Amino acid sequence: MLERDEAARRRLEKAHIADSVLTVSVTLFNDLPRFLNGTRTSDGKRVVRILEGMLELERLTSPLSGIVCPPMELKRTDPKRFKALCEIQDKNAAITRELAKFKFVPNAEVVVGGGGGPSEWSALWRWSNKRFEDHLRMDASEALQVILKLTQIGDLTRLRHCAQCHKWLYARFRHQLFCSTACQQKKYTKSEQFKAHRRRYMRDRYHKLVKNPFDRRKRVVRQKTRSR
């Protein structure tokens, strides 16, 4: 009996109730930033606030080691650390309150008959207020569930703001800072390195075209000769 119970327990550990994001595809990592940048509903904006709060918590907790729950004795021995841990707990509580506003309901139905044996069921959680925005392929519940999945695999911080236009992006590489090549180039043109390069280029051009007009006339003649 105990052996059968242990085998059943191991099978239960592998079981799970799915969510509405049934298949995780590559398009999700394009759809999620589009949702974060384009949502107009109160639920969608709540998802963005939750994400921002989670990223702030990640920033506060990543330098720490061990459990972040503040023990009371720490208030006397290390009041500065105790205060920091209490701040983390407060932010956790705020995120929990926001998450509690999303209501999911269980759904279960038979999808394949058993043919004399156990039937195949589909069991999952559905958002009770499912509503799509016409210009987006993802709704607020799906966006939230993908964000929560990213926390479980340690990739939450791959959701970040573009360093140039400040839109949300999903960093396919950990060092990625821009949502597009255009933003990367635009940011570079504002850097001191580019400005110094531009100054050198214009100074050299000035010396060639203004201070040496004879060389300039020779270049014009050569260009006209080639055009013929």
Region 95-114: mean pLDDT is 91
Can you list the alpha helix ranges (DSSP code H) found in 15-41? 28-38
**Which one is predicted more confidently, 110 or 187?**
110
pLDDT at 32: 94
**Which one is predicted more confidently, 2 or 145?**
145
Region 186-213: mean pLDDT is 65
Region 29-55: mean pLDDT is 95
pLDDT 10s digits, 46-78: 999 999 999 999 999 998 888 888 888 888 888
Relative orientation angle of helices 42-61 and 79-99, to the nearest 10 degrees: 160
- Could you tell me the pTM of the whole model? 0.74
Region 195-215: mean pLDDT is 62
Domain ranges of the chain: 14-154, 191-227
Residue 118: pLDDT over 60: yes
Residue 39: pLDDT over 80: yes
Burial class (CB in 10 A: 0-12, 13-18, 19+), 61: middle
Rg for the chain, CA atoms, rounded: 29
pLDDT at 36: 97
**Which one is predicted more confidently, 191 or 75?**
75
Q: Which among 15, 17, 24, 16 is positioned nearest to 142, based on CA atoms?
A: 24
Region 3-17: mean pLDDT is 74
Query: In degrees, to the nearest 5, what angle opens at C-alpha 58 toward C-alphas 53 and 63?
Result: 145
Residue 204: pLDDT over 70: no
Burial class (CB in 10 A: 0-12, 13-18, 19+), 5: exposed
Residue 9: pLDDT over 80: no
pLDDT at 140: 92
End-to-end CA distance of the chain: 99
**Which one is predicted more confidently, 52 or 11?**
52
φ, ψ for residue 107 (rounded to 5)? -135, 130
pLDDT 10s digits, 121-175: 888 888 877 778 989 988 999 899 899 989 988 999 999 999 999 999 999 888 8
Instruction: Map tokens 């099978």 to a residue.
Output: 11
Query: With bands split at pLDDT 50, 70 and 90, how would you rate the model's confidence at 1?
Result: low
HSE on the CB side for 61, CA within 13 Å? 20
pLDDT at 208: 65
Query: With bands split at pLDDT 50, 70 and 90, how would you rate the model's confidence at 104?
Result: confident
